[in-house]
Amino acid sequence: MPAIAWLAAGGSAFCFALALILTQFGLRHLPAMLGAAISMAASTTAFWILVPKLLSGDTWIPTSALIFAAVGVLFPAAVTLLTFESNKRMGPTVAGSLGNLAPLFAILAAIIILDETLSWRHVAGVATIVIGVTVMSSRGRSGASRNWPTWVVTLPLLAAAIRGGVQPAVKYGLVDWHDPFAAVLIGYTVSSAVVITAITLRDHQWPRRITKGGFVWFSCVGLCNGLAVLLLYTALSLGPVVLVSPTVAGYPLITLVLSLIFLRTSRPTWRQAIGVAMTVIGVAVLLISNG
């Protein structure tokens, strides 16, 4: 995988982590559903503003466009709603850690759809990352400090399954239409329509409940998530899913650091320290296997 793909994957991880932190501030002003609508609309608007500069109109590929649109129904629409809700109930570090299981779904789908292969080093690296984030998200005995019901765990897990499953589909579409910006533009446009339609059916008066603070915070969240997805698609266009997905999945490490800085959370526990160490080792193994 070329260096630019590694940089894109790392940048995507950072933007996903930053979006989780900003979401915490946004949720102080608005509920998750309203936040998702603002977030999706802000990112989609930004992408359409950039169309004249970044989209080539003479390379339209209908089959790829349909794939990107189908992906948009689930990602980032459904993932955004699930992530916001799990973030609200579980906090950014734990929600992000459980969401880090996406590589398992991504790699399985890549093997089936794209016929990608795994070396023993790839398996070792991915396994180390998954174990690391599992340890990081563990609450210890009896879940003493846990303040959410057990079923809430399904929210980030479902988000991880969707996020992982769509990555090979996007890469498949990028084979014929090698334009990550087109993929993110079409996907976000469909996702925005899905989210706004869903919230309108639920509450026709929702625009009146938007506050200035909530609008600003969730607009920033949308820009971060939008850039994260664009960088993810860029990495997928240049490298295999089996390397890109685990690298992007390292964003809980960044979330933990940003939480300590901006959310003034308590110092990391020994479980988090072990989880961080294992995740770093897992990413290092992937880098070595690429070499």
The residue written with tokens 């850690």 in the block is 97
| Pairwise CA distance, residues 51 & 22, whole Å | 26
Q: What is the largest CA-CA distance in the chain?
A: 59
What number of H helices and E strands is found in the chain?
A: 14, 0
Asked if residue 92 lies in contact with residue 100, where contact means CB atoms within 8 angstroms, the answer is no
Number of C-alpha atoms within 13 angstroms, CB side, residue 271?
13
Give the global pTM.
Answer: 0.81
- From first to last of its 291 residues, the chain has per-residue pLDDT tens of 789 999 999 999 999 999 989 988 998 998 888 888 899 999 999 999 999 888 876 678 999 999 999 999 998 888 877 877 787 777 766 676 666 677 778 888 888 888 877 777 778 887 887 777 667 655 554 444 556 677 787 888 888 889 888 999 999 999 999 999 999 999 999 999 998 888 888 878 888 888 999 999 999 999 999 999 999 999 999 999 888 888 887 777 788 788 878 776 656 677 777 877 787 787 777 766 655
Could you tell me which of 60, 279, 61, 76 has the C-alpha nearest to residue 188? 76
